């Protein structure tokens, strides 16, 4: 019984390592696809990596890369989905002073503007810049300055 439990744990660890290796290879393949101007292929590969990604920092990175590939390939609906999922995960893992969320909100606003969803885009920009949070305009955060 003790040996069986140990073998199961070893098998599980090996599966996690294999999945991590596969995700790294998928990300490499996506970068290569983007380098040869094939964002559609990059998106397919990144979505395969997302399907096996744990809910952590790596998953958020994959969501960001998939959103970028989708935007480049003109799949604005998919880019919006990935950015909204990314923002939801970042809101869950909220860390004080995290400028990434503002940048991702601005990227979502950009995608929404490209898709002619102007009212939603304005809401996201206001949120990213900090108007909704009541940030003093006289002393903007570095991320706010970058967005403006």
Say how many residues make up the chain: 148
In angstroms, the CA 117 to CA 24 distance is 34
Q: State how far the Cα of 38 lies from the Cα of 123, in Å rounded to an integer.
A: 32
Residue 5, helix vs strand vs coil:
helix
The 10s digit of each residue's pLDDT in 31-58 is: 999 999 999 999 999 999 999 988 788 9
Q: Decide: residue 141, CB within 10 A, 0-12 exposed, 13-18 middle, 19+ buried.
A: middle
Separation between Cα atoms, residue 94 and residue 30, nearest integer Å: 28
Per-residue tokens: 115:
């898709």
* Phi, psi of 93, rounded to the nearest 5 degrees: -95, 30
Distant-in-sequence, close-in-space partners of 19: CB < 8 Å, separation ≥ 6:
52
pLDDT tens, position by position, 17-35? 888 899 999 999 999 999 9
Range scoring the smallest mean pLDDT among 9-13, 50-54, 97-101, 136-140? 136-140
Q: Which two tokens stand for residue 106?
A: 């601005």
pTM of the full structure: 0.75
């Amino acid at each position: 019984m003790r040996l069986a439990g140990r073998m199961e744990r070893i098998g599980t660890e090996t599966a996690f390592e294999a999945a991590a290796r596969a995700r790294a290879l998928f990300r490499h393949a996506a970068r290569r696809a983007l380098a040869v101007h094939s964002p559609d292929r990059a998106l397919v590969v990144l979505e395969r990596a997302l399907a096996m990604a744990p809910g952590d920092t790596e998953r958020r990175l994959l969501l960001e890369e998939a959103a970028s590939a989708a935007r480049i390939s003109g799949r604005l609906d998919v880019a919006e989905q990935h950015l909204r999922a990314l923002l939801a995960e970042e809101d869950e893992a909220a860390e004080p002073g995290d400028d990434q969320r503002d940048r991702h909100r601005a990227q979502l606003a950009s995608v929404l503007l490209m898709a002619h969803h102007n009212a939603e885009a304005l809401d996201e920009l206001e949120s990213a810049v900090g108007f909704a949070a009541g940030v003093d305009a006289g002393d903007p955060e570095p991320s706010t300055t970058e967005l403006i």
